[in-house]
Amino acid sequence: MSHSFQNFIGGRWVPARSGRTFANLDPATGETLGEFPASGPEDVNDAIEAAAKAFASWRLVPAPKRAEVVFRAGEIIRQRKADLARAMTGEMGKVLAEAGGDVQEGIDMAFYAAGEGRRMHGVTTPSEMPDKWAMSVRVPIGVTGVITPWNFPFAIPTWKLMPALVAGNTAVFKPATDTPELAGHLAAILAEAGLPAGVLNLVYGSGSQVGDPLVADPRVPAISFTGSTDVGLGISSRAGALGKRVALEMGGKNAILVLDDADLTLATEAILWSAFGTTGQRCTACSRVLAHQRVHDELVQRVADGARALRLGHGLDPATQVGPLVNRAQLERVEDYVRIGRAAGASVVAGGERASEGALAKGHFHRPTVFAGVAADARIAVEEIFGPVLAVVKVKDFAEAVRVNNASSFGLSASIFTRDVQRAFAAMRDLETGIVYVNHGTTGAEIHLPFGGMRGTGNGHREAGPTLLDPFTEWKSVYVDFSGRLQRAQIDNQI
């Protein structure tokens, strides 16, 4: 059944001023799930005005009280987890268990971010002058523009919005047009939890009509973006030229290193999950395996057999292990890369084609695909595909595996399978990625640790963990001189 949804601006649910809408489709069936406002710059302006007005009072609400709203939202999310997960599977396609995990990350972030309302630590330090107090505190930046992708339509918005709100910022939120429904549920839950009108504003629409005006507006001093590297770098150049705070989380080309002493059963299981979970549509997905030459052939056979056995279908079907790609363009992108891999001489040992039998013909399904005989510098081994395609590269030893991993233009996640504690610790030191796993796949993150990557994956910011407030706060240093006389710091502080 199709439903109509609206923007949330200034505490009210309103249509786009133009009256235009776009359809939200189930990628497994093509069914229309809902109609959403196709907003434009005029709607963005309304949202920014509301957020700027609300900031004046929201920043003065004590941080513990701001955090209580986020905590209450976490409780509501926990009560509605099953319904939110089903809605997510419908619009994004990931299997129901994974959708539940996505929602759980939102619950975890709500409780973790709420704790910052009673921490939000600054620094106190002795002054170098007598009768003088020195300290630093975090303060909110202002209106934050939050732009999120479709692959984690609930978790990623909570990773950004909840810390921003607890820190005292207001927000204008633009979700991906492929997964708009979960954004509406999140905004409604925060409002129900007691968030004042105008503190969070939700505007649906395209990047050109909503995202670009949001990035360009001088009343929005901070932008937090997760998505493709090309779009992120474009945002960085435009927003950076305006002196804005910009936090980027972008692409990945993550590798699992499998050494000659690895537990191949465990490694195979982890590779299959990391490569084909969420249909490969994760920034942390494993899209490269760097296999030691002594185990390469056996590992390829195990992974290929496992990939062929994975069951495709609608994510609500309990038997389904791999759902559809999010849209037709993503399916065609995967098909293009399969052709590129074949043309470069790599061998398809599993999959290699879209799945179109029976009910699968209605959706954007592609068989889990494994390439062997892949050169380390082949396009399928260095470019982000964002789909169920895995490239296996043969390496001669641990040192070569590390070199190949680090040659990537991305640096989000890496994994190593070995029983050798010395090589495990060397990998922890030498793998140039923001996340390193030992004897585990490349996917997964716990919200109390920083999340993010190096090089083309990001611009140095880290979401979650103890760094979660950094994109959303400024530091203010405060000096209180109670000496009753003018003390000129280093000028008068001479020994």
Domain boundaries, the chain: 3-250+458-477, 254-438
Could you give phi then psi for residue 291, rounded to 5 degrees? Answer: -100, 130
pLDDT in tens, 265-274: 999 999 999 9
Residues catalogued as catalytic: 249, 283
Quickly state the pLDDT bin for 316 (edges 50, 70, 90).
very high
Task: Please work out, in degrees rounded to the nearest 5, the angle formed at the alpha carbon of residue 265 by the alpha carbons of 262 and 266.
Answer: 70
- Output the CA torsion sign for 51, 52, 54, 59: positive
pLDDT in tens, 238-256: 999 999 999 999 999 999 9
pLDDT in tens, 438-467: 999 999 899 999 999 999 999 999 999 999
Quickly state the pLDDT bin for 2 (edges 50, 70, 90).
low
Return the CATH superfamily for domain 3-250+458-477.
Aldehyde Dehydrogenase; Chain A, domain 1 (3.40.605.10)
The pLDDT score that the predictor gives to residue 1 is 55
The pLDDT score that the predictor gives to residue 3 is 80
Q: What share of the chain is helix, strand, coil (3-state, %, to 5)?
A: 40, 20, 35
Share of the chain above pLDDT 90, in %: 97
Q: Whole-prediction pTM value?
A: 0.97
Q: Residue 367: is it exposed, middle or buried by C-beta count within 10 angstroms (0-12/13-18/19+)?
A: buried
Contact 451, 465 (CB under 8 A): yes
Instruction: Indicate if 254-438 has the same CATH topology as 3-250+458-477.
Output: no
Quickly state the pLDDT bin for 489 (edges 50, 70, 90).
confident
3-state secondary structure of 137: strand
- The yes/no answer on whether domain 254-438 falls in CATH 3.40.50.2300 is no
Indicate whether 345 pLDDT > 90: yes
The pLDDT score that the predictor gives to residue 4 is 87
> Which structure tokens are listed for 248?
């980027």
Contact 16, 202 (CB under 8 A): no
